[in-house]
Structure 1
Amino acid sequence: MVNKFESFLTKFYLIIVFIFLYTPIVTLMVFSFNDSKSMANWDGFTFKWYGELLQNDKILSALYYTILIAVLASVISTIIGTITAIGIHNMKKGASKKLLLNTNYLPILNPDIVTGIALMSLFIFLKMNFGFITMLLAHITFCIPYVILSVLPKLKQLPQNTIEAAQDLGATYFYAIKKIIIPQIKPGIFTGFLMAFTMSIDDFVISFFTAGPGVTNLSIEIYSMARRGIKPEINALSTLMFIVVLILLLIVNKKQMVGGKAFEKTK
């Protein structure tokens, strides 16, 4: 009886948590089909905001730069972060390794506004014109630590002296990294890529301080709209983005399940 009551409480608690988390998203999705511009009342079902979204040049331009910068920043930061993680992992335990790890934590723990002002000051000092390049460099900078933290745990799971064993069998150092290490840490690399991509799309503060004329992302565009009132097209865009992310997660989980079953069959 006690176990059943504990099980009920656990399930009830989980349901409450998920309701709390997803109610705002469901509300946003529902009102993306509202015929009224106001979210205070429901005037009927419509798809017109999705049509007007495709005709809103400002939002589409912001979406273009958001996705472009997120893709470039996540790819570049994943490459740099993976190489850095391998280098840190192969270092001997000591003060230097601890110093590098603690230095890597700083951009994550540091408030975004401090990082944004620091990067803005650096670009001003270097006399760089603010725009696409400065925003891209800023996004790469704050994405790299997340990739490193995603890859390092996978490297620690590998058997010790893996590279040395490969070299004893005739492989070069870089061949061992490419053919042995990289394939085994792919889940960590992919997780780091997703983290970097998500952080880049989500960022506002750092983007605000490093953006320039003619270049803006969705967070900055929505912030500027908030002063005049959020347009219903944003609800439509947010709904589409949520559905795309949900589909991607389902595909990734499906592949992991298939891969896990295939691995179990080989045992």
Structure 2
Amino acid sequence: MNSGVDELKINPIPVLLSVGNPAIEYYTRRDLLGEEVGPVEELWQLPSVLRILRKQEENGYWKYPGKIREDIRSRDDYNQVETYRVLGELVCKYGLNRSHRQIQKSAEYFFNCQTIEGDFRGIYGNQYATTYSPAIMELLIKAGYSNDHRIKKGFQWLISMRQEDGGWVIPFRTSGMNIKEALLASEPDLPDPSRPFSHLVTGMVLRAFAAHPEYRHGEETKRAAKLLARRFSRQINIQIVGIENTGKGFPIRSGSQILLVLWIPYHFLT
């Protein structure tokens, strides 16, 4: 199994195995060393997982724990952000999926936030969230909802929201509207499709496409991936490595921006 570790100057595996974290050890042995390990469900009984699950509300969400700006966002908006954060930890760190009752509840909570158009709305008030919508979809796909018709509806919406150049933006940012105006507006602001794409937003959208076994092979995905790869290599000199059959990604910090490095199937970039 070629995990790419041999290409690194320092082998991280001994450190990963020594930190005393059962989840890190599990994925290191399974994904980097190719070892036979037990079912991922063994991680679901860890005390850290059970503590998180105990805090879930009956309707499937987790309450935002910090102070909120109710003059800008509602409590529901903040709770949706917190639920997205917690679901990401449970799915990506501990491997929970739709076979777990509480993941089912969390998924239904998010699907109840989906509009007739197909986007997941509320985190930006009434505005279209071309960042959080695909990010939520990515987690739901990884949790086992790739064949759900509501996920397909989300992809149809994302495809309809592309810029003319094939990428994506946060729509209200193309009109010059500031964040407070956007969050207090009663209707979503449509994008100016002639504006150039945002590599940050396009990267977040592609995470959903890369996670889906069917949509990762679509022409829209290939076009956007090549578009993003060209901008990365030209502006910030980051090489995007293509690996087949994976939709994994991780955030890195570059200056004051968080850039998303996507693991994209190789044929996207060739």
TM-score by length of 2: 0.24
Q: Which structure has the higher relative contact order (CA within 8 Å, separation 6+)?
A: 1
Greater Rg by CA: 1
TM-score by length of 1: 0.24
